[in-house]
């Protein structure tokens, strides 16, 4: 089982003929993702790696059934590309692009919410269901199928943790990189709800960072759902008022500190790894508890 995507998911790539879009389209195709169409205005009628290219999303939908779209469009056009895809009825969007203005994302987020569209990102590595489908830029070779769900605000930490899980024989059901921008699409809580409905996901690894209170909300929800979670919080040494990496990774006043997030998880009975290398052991311990309960 998985959440959001599987081997049958049909994908549209916005910006398919650009440098980044082209490179990662090849990677997705090599992984086995069903990339059925691409969009680059002015290049309709061409093909890219055997994938037909259209001028608009509507043109592509006239010829293909599409379940999800991924955008590599430059930041100044990204909001328009997201609303175009949503207006055409595509219900899952993945936005890889970073640097999208916050005021653009405020407008986009409301529009997508009104349309009932799920957005992953922006400024994220995407989503992967190992062995079935990857949408975005994650390195598919480090993933194996299994019972561990992963939700992360950090792309590089995702790869590090997944690599360690895989080497320990702990495969993944689905991995979502939600991104670290101030106005994200799906948040930890939304992803947790989806994982809680997936019978094949036994444990979720949640990789958070400083800034905001999404992790605190996720901690309370995980306990309410009875979802086994292992957490890690990045940015413990970050000074207040200094942005670290992601645009949303900034401590403002007493809010958003790593300590506050760790305390929230511990309050709700969720183990917190001190180092990423501790995550594998904590996952094994959670899996053992579940097995004994069964």
pLDDT at res. 199: 93
Question: Is residue 4 domain-resident?
Answer: no
- Looking at 88, 120, 152, which one is the last position of a domain? 120
Write out the residue range of the structural domain in which residue 24 sits: 10-120
- Label residue 248 by pLDDT band (50, 70, 90): very low
Per-residue model confidence as pLDDT tens digits over 118-158? 999 999 999 999 999 999 999 999 999 999 999 999 889 99
Task: Indicate if the pLDDT at residue 251 is higher than 70.
Answer: no
Per-residue model confidence as pLDDT tens digits over 9-22? 999 999 999 999 99
CA distance 150 to 105: 25
Per-residue model confidence as pLDDT tens digits over 42-71? 999 999 999 999 999 999 999 999 999 999
Question: Is residue 69 domain-resident?
Answer: yes
One domain, residues 181 and 100: no
CATH number at residue 97: 3.40.50.720
Q: Which of 24, 64, 246, 268 is catalytic?
A: 246
- Nearest Cα to 240, choosing from 256, 228, 263, 229? 256
- Label residue 178 by pLDDT band (50, 70, 90): very high
Q: Is 24 a catalytic residue?
A: no
One domain, residues 60 and 187: no
One domain, residues 241 and 163: yes
Least confident residue range of 208-222, 242-256, 277-291: 242-256
The pTM of the whole model exceeds 0.95: no
pLDDT at res. 2: 85
One domain, residues 63 and 114: yes
Question: Is residue 202 domain-resident?
Answer: yes
- Label residue 30 by pLDDT band (50, 70, 90): very high
One domain, residues 191 and 286: yes
Task: Indicate if the pLDDT at residue 249 is higher than 50.
Answer: no
**In 3-state terms, what secondary structure has residue 65?**
coil
Average pLDDT, the chain: 92
Q: How far is CA 270 from CA 124, 198, 216, 230, 255, in A?
A: 25, 20, 11, 6, 20
One domain, residues 177 and 84: no
Question: Is residue 131 domain-resident?
Answer: no
Question: Is residue 182 domain-resident?
Answer: yes
């Amino acid at each position: 089982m998985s959440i959001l995507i599987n081997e049958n998911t049909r994908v549209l790539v916005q910006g398919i003929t650009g440098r980044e879009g082209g490179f990662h389209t090849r990677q997705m195709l090599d992984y086995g993702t069903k990339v059925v169409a691409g969009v680059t205005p002015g290049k309709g009628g061409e093909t890219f790696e055997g994938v037909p290219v259209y001028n608009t999303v509507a043109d592509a939908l006239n010829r293909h059934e599409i379940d999800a779209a991924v955008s590599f469009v430059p930041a100044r056009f990204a909001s328009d590309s997201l609303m175009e895809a949503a207006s055409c009825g595509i219900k899952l969007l993945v936005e890889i692009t970073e640097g999208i203005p916050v005021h653009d994302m405020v407008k986009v987020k409301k529009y997508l919410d009104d349309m009932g569209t799920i957005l992953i990102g922006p400024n994220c590595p995407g989503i992967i269901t190992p062995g079935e489908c990857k949408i975005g830029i994650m390195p598919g070779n480090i993933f194996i199928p299994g019972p561990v769900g992963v939700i992360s605000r950090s792309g590089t930490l995702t790869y590090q943790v997944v690599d360690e899980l895989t080497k320990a024989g702990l495969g993944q059901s689905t991995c979502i990189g939600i991104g670290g921008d101030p106005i994200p699409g799906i948040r930890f809580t939304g992803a947790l709800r989806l994982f809680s409905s997936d019978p094949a996901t036994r444990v979720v690894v949640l990789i958070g960072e400083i800034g905001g209170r999404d992790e605190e909300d996720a901690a309370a929800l995980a306990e309410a759902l009875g979802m086994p979670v292992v957490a890690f919080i990045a940015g413990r040494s970050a000074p207040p008022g200094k942005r670290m990496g992601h645009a949303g990774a900034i401590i403002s006043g007493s809010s958003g500190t790593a300590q506050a997030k760790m305390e929230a998880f511990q309050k709700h009975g969720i183990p917190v790894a001190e180092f990423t290398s501790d995550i594998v052991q904590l996952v094994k311990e959670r899996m053992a508890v579940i097995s004994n309960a069964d």
